Structure formats: structure tokens, C-alpha cells
Amino acid sequence: MRFTLRVWRQKDARDPGRFETYEVVDVVPDMSFLEVLDKVNEDLIRRGQDAIAFDSDCREGICGTCCIMVDGRAHGRLHGTTVCELRMRAFRDGDTITAEPFRARPFPVVKDLMIDRSIFDTIIQAGGYVSIGTGAASDANAIPVTKEAAERAMDSAQCIGCGACVASCPNAAAMLFTSAKLAHLSTLPQGRVEWRYRVLEMVEAMNSAGFGNCSNHGECEAACPKQIKLTDIAQMNRQFLFSSAFTKREKAETS
């Protein structure tokens, strides 16, 4: 197979950037899109040119680092996949493919197709953990968890923090990411103890980071490689409203 790649090249966040075109031949249909970028980079390095910078780690759809828009879609045209899982058989021979980084103000471009998603860490640090004592490994079975709760928590815990939801949302909202982290913790009894504090702190961190608000476009769910549902956002909104009201009443009673 043969393809024409239009790849976004940008030295750093201050550089205006531009698209550059590369021809790539002898592509095997089972190759991933990242392997095609590897192939292009090998040719660039042989010619003494600067290789295309992009992030990758596991290449198994787990790490969430391959944050690339392919033909205007986060992670490409296939549903429920990451870029490293996007196989070239999904394209037609001779296609022109456009690759660019996720676009959002909280995700500054580091170089070319690499972005800085460390702001997600700030949201997690605000409350995305269990701080109470839950015992040792031997105590794991002491707290019963229903099958329904376990499956519900795992559905949300699948979020890999790739940022596709932010890149796809017209408002650059991070509510699907934040709500998934909240849902998987508050569903389990070990995390339910701190849910009021957690939702207030994480939503505050999300808003302070400069992300937009959800307006129910649903693009985040459509682009999510782990198919996190909008119901997590609805649950987060309910928890936030309840916690805000509870905190105000608590302050009024103690004043």
C-alpha cells in the first residue's frame, strides 16, 4: 500500500507550525498508524532530517499517550480504538491522511504531534485517590462488593486519560475524564466514604485548569477509545450539586 501523509510539524508551543507532506510506500495492511510514522521517521533520519515527534508507550491501547487527530478525528476513524490500534487496512490504497496533535488550550504542543497532558495529573492530585485506611491485601475480601458495583466501577476505571474527549468536544471540556475517575471511586465502598470532598475538589481543579463545560454534544463519548458513557457526567453533576448544597448547609449550621 502507498499513502500520502500530511503531518503537523511544530518546534514548540510558540512556533506557529505548518503541515508537511510525506510519501510512504510498501505499507503492510496490518501495520498500525504509529508504525507508518516509524517508517517515515526512519527515512527522515537516513536523510539527516528531523524526525516527527510523537508519543507512544504500550502500543496496545492502554497507556493513552498516542494523542493524534487522524483525518480530523481523535484516534482516527475506527470506533473504540487508539491510534496505535488503528491498522492501515482501515484506509484505501493511495489515500491522503492528515495527522495533527489534539487541539485544546490546556494541552500545549510540546513538539509536532506531542502534547502536554500533565494538567490531567493536577485533577487526579486534587482527589482522584482513596486516602482512608482500607487495610492490607489480606483484608481485601472483608468488604463485600456486589457484582453490579464492581462491573460499573470497572467500566469507568477503563479511562486511560488520553484526552480524546477534550480534543473532540467543541468546548474542550474534560468532564468525561473527570467524571470517569469520580465514578469508579465513588461506586466502590472504599472510595464512597470521601465522595463529597472528592467531587468538589476535582471539579474545582478541572475548572481552574481552563477546560470548558459540557453542552451535551456527545462527541466525547463517540471519540472515547474505551467507550466511557455520558452517564458518568450526569452522575458527577448530581454529586456536585448535592455536595455543594450540603457544604453550604454545613457552613450555615456551624456559623
Three cell numbers written together for 163: 484526552
| Residue 27 pLDDT | 97
Same structural domain, 130 and 93: no
- The separation between CA 32 and the C-alpha centre of its own chain, rounded to angstroms, equals 19
pLDDT number for residue 246: 81
Q: Which region, left, alpha or beta, applies to residue 131 given φ > 0 means left and ψ of -120 to 50 means alpha?
A: alpha
Instruction: Tell me which of 75, 93, 115 is where a domain ends.
Output: 115
> Residue 232: which domain range?
119-254
Specify whether 59 is located in the same domain as 89.
Answer: yes
Per-residue DSSP letter, 58: -
CA angle 20, 88, 90 (to 5 degrees): 115
Same domain, 49 and 171: no
CATH number at residue 173: 1.10.1060.10
What CATH number does residue 93 fall under? 3.10.20.30
Together in a domain, 103 and 135? no
Judgement on whether residues 176 and 141 belong to the same structural domain of the protein: yes
Domain boundary among 56, 89, 115: 115
Domain shared by 195 and 224, yes or no:
yes
Q: How many domains does the chain have?
A: 2
Render each residue's pLDDT in the chain as its tens digit; 255 residues.
999 999 999 999 899 999 999 999 999 999 999 999 999 999 999 999 999 999 999 999 999 999 999 999 999 999 999 999 999 999 999 999 999 999 999 999 999 999 999 999 999 999 999 998 888 888 877 888 999 999 999 999 999 999 999 999 999 999 999 999 999 999 999 899 999 999 999 999 999 999 999 999 999 999 999 999 999 999 999 999 999 988 766 666 665
Give pLDDT, residue 252.
62
146 and 97 within one domain: no
Q: Are residues 30 and 139 in the same domain?
A: no
Interatomic CA distance for residues 149 and 36, integer angstroms: 41
Domain boundary (85, 115, 145) is at 115
Same domain for 99 and 164?
no
H or E segment to which residue 242 belongs: helix 231-254
- Distance between CA atoms of 142 and 189, rounded to whole angstroms? 11
**Coil, strand or helix: which one is 165?**
helix
| Same-domain check for residues 123 and 238 | yes
**pTM given for the model:** 0.92
Confidence (pLDDT) at 177? 98
